[in-house]
Amino acid sequence: MSDDLSIDPLDVIAVGAHPDDVEIGCGGTLAKLVEQGYRVGIVDLTDGEPTPMSPGPDVRAEEAAEAARILGVHHRTTLDLVNRRLMDDWESRVELAKEFRRWRPRLILALGDRTPTASPDHWQAVLLTEAAMFYSRLTKWDHEFDHLPPHKIDGLLYYSLNFYSLEPPPHGNSFVVDISSTYEQKIASVKAYATQFPPEKQHIFERLEAMAHYFGEAAGFARGERLSSPRAVGVRDVMGLL
């Protein structure tokens, strides 16, 4: 039996293809969950390198660590998968499923859509995360996962990096998270990636501001992030929605 069971479980794990994906897509939500007392982690499937303006993986890793510190997350790890060549294959599924079995989260936040004008790694990350959630719970297969015991994850939610479509998320079932109190943390965490956002890319912050304002106002908040669910979003207290 693995001694990894001695670690404190995480309540939530957000998965990105590259460092900065989760900050851009759901950084405000992660900081909000931390603010509410939940244990939050991030798994980057690749180190995101090489990229045009970065001097190398060590600098990108330092930026990721600073972004995690700003958001207040409790754990961040980078899998040894390859940027620009990320594929939904057996070995990659197993590596991510081992993280889920090790940290035993209740909720996964995952990339939820293709990004046709950006990295194809994003779509592979969607497929990988969904498969790894399934593998995490399978019994009589512990030898494939370093003998980490099965773990059933309660929920899956999607965040989006597809900023160029006016269509709703492909899964529907969308809702808005109030990030009014953590919006500045989100922006600071994205700005921690100085190598990824040189002067010619500063327009990303105007886009993030516009989206946060639009989604927030639509739901009655100052700032918001839109997430979606593969299942219908149900309520037990209708009056609690007011």
Give me the pLDDT at residue 171, please. 84
Burial (CB count <10 Å: 0-12, 13-18, 19+), residue 30: buried
Q: What would the mean pLDDT of 95-119 be, rounded to a whole number?
A: 96
| Number of helical (H) and strand (E) elements in the chain, helices listed first | 6, 7
The overall average pLDDT reported for the chain is 95
Give me the pLDDT at residue 5, please. 55
| 166 vs 196: which has the higher pLDDT | 196
pLDDT digits (tens, 9 = 90+) for 129-175: 999 999 999 999 999 999 999 999 999 999 999 888 888 888 889 99
Reply yes or no on whether the pLDDT at 3 is more than 70. no
Reply yes or no on whether the pLDDT at 75 is more than 50. yes
Among 162, 123, 159, 157, smallest CA distance to 45 is for 123
Contact of 42 with 73, CB cutoff 8 Å = yes
- Local structure of 98: helix, strand or coil: helix
Domains and CATH numbers, the chain: 7-231 (3.40.50.10320)
Reply yes or no on whether the pLDDT at 215 is more than 90. yes
Q: Strands, E, within 100-167: which ranges?
A: 107-111, 155-159
pTM score, whole prediction: 0.95
pLDDT digits (tens, 9 = 90+) for 7-58: 899 999 999 999 999 999 999 999 999 999 999 999 999 999 999 999 999 9
Q: How many CB atoms lie within 10 A of CB 147?
A: 11
Q: What backbone phi and psi angles, to 5 degrees, belong to 10?
A: -100, 145
Contact of 88 with 127, CB cutoff 8 Å = yes
Contact of 29 with 109, CB cutoff 8 Å = yes
Reply yes or no on whether the pLDDT at 4 is more than 70. no
Give me the pLDDT at residue 145, please. 97
CA distances from 94 to 10, 81, 112, 143 (A): 19, 12, 20, 11
Count, residues in the chain:
242
Give me the pLDDT at residue 108, please. 98
